[in-house]
Amino acid sequence: MKTKNFIDGSMISIHFGKTVGAEINNEHYSIVFNIKNNDNMVFCIPLTSPKMKHFKTEKDFNERNYLQLKYPHTYYIAQTDSIALIDQLRVISIDRLRHFHTDPTTGKMITLYPEELDIIKLKVEKFIKSILHKK
């Protein structure tokens, strides 16, 4: 996939390569966003499977209670049963893009519902502000 033929909020498999420590590595789906005036890079938020460590209690994990996430820099996406790792957002080369996440029943590319996309954008904005305006 050498071109940007997706809309903001598309879910695309990305090869993150070798990384260090807690950084997400190998291949994972991510929420991707176009970067204006840049055809070679995309902004992405990696996704991972929900794990007990993302929720406050085992009951919250089993019920996928998104209101009881342990960390403010994560977000549960019911649409794909995944966790957005907002603290691992990054800009990457389009050469790392592998394939679109598609709906198994329709074969159509999966993009976030507009409501979910709006929430994630707000969480990203809040996360970036928390970095830039530390007291």
Q: What is the CATH number of the domain that holds 115?
A: 2.30.30.110
Q: Which residue segment(s) compose the domain that 61 sits in?
A: 10-132
Question: Tens of pLDDT along 84-119?
Answer: 999 999 999 888 888 888 888 888 888 889 999 999
CA dist., res. 6 & res. 16, Å (int): 19
| Domain count within the chain | 1
- The pTM assigned to this predicted structure is 0.85
Determine, yes or no, domain membership for 2: no
Question: Tens of pLDDT along 11-44?
Answer: 998 888 777 777 777 888 899 998 888 888 999 9
Determine, yes or no, domain membership for 1: no
